[in-house]
Amino acid sequence: MLSITMLSVGCGDDESGAGGAASATSSGPGGATASSSSSASSSSSASSASSGGAGGEGGAGAGGIGGGNGASQACKDCVATVFVDGTACFKALQDCDADTDCEQWKNCSEDCFNANHTPACYDACDTAWPQVTALSAPLYKCTCDTCSASCAAMCE
């Protein structure tokens, strides 16, 4: 498993996702980075999952397996301290946002962070977007170096 978040790293929309993480305690992802931005990615993934669309990629499909339990408040609070403007972790988040594939991975990871905080969900995102490992690994590292105790599912 490539789990080092996410990002929670979780993530959301470009700058709003990162800002949401820093100011609102969470997406993700990535999700790890973002409660406020993840509402947009959560609603978009919820609509594609309910319409039967993009769920086959693994991100939304795996999200349904876990019973809807997102990351703990302790994990969200910790992640909010990691992706702060001006830090290397924030720069890693911006680098991911600048890459279309990485942004899709991050949205998937945010869905895990917000609704299915399990190793299987994060693994499904990593499997669906293996080409972004160089960009996603720093986000996992940022999250797990600081928040591994409270965000264990992302860091296994």
Q: Which residue from 106, 131, 96 is spatially nearest to 41, judged by alpha carbons?
A: 106
DSSP structural state of residue 131: G
Q: What is the pLDDT of residue 156?
A: 85
Asked if 140 and 9 count as a contact pair (C-beta separation under 8 A), the reply is yes
Q: What is the pLDDT averaged over residues 13-31? A: 36
Q: What is the pLDDT averaged over residues 83-106? A: 96
The CA-atom distances, in angstroms, between 77 and each of 8, 81, 128, 129, 143 are: 11, 7, 27, 27, 11
Q: What is the pLDDT of residue 68?
A: 57
Tell me which of 116 and 64 has the higher pLDDT: 116
Could you state, in order of their start, the residue ranges of all structural domains in the chain? 14-155
Q: Which two tokens stand for residue 101?
A: 């594939």
Determine if the pTM surpasses 0.75.
no
Tell me which of 19 and 107 has the higher pLDDT: 107
Highest mean pLDDT among 17-26, 61-70, 89-98: 89-98
Q: Which residue from 105, 93, 11, 9 is spatially nearest to 57, judged by alpha carbons?
A: 105
Rounded Cα distance, 156 and 113, in Å: 14
pLDDT greater than 50 at residue 80: yes
CB-CB neighbours of 51 under 10 Å: 9
pLDDT, the chain, mean: 70
Q: What is the pLDDT of residue 148?
A: 94
Indicate left, alpha or beta for 26 from its phi (over 0: left) and psi (-120 to 50: alpha). Answer: beta
pLDDT greater than 70 at residue 104: yes
Q: What is the pLDDT averaged over residues 21-42? A: 36
What band does 85 get if pLDDT is binned at 50, 70 and 90? very high
Asked if 2 and 135 count as a contact pair (C-beta separation under 8 A), the reply is no
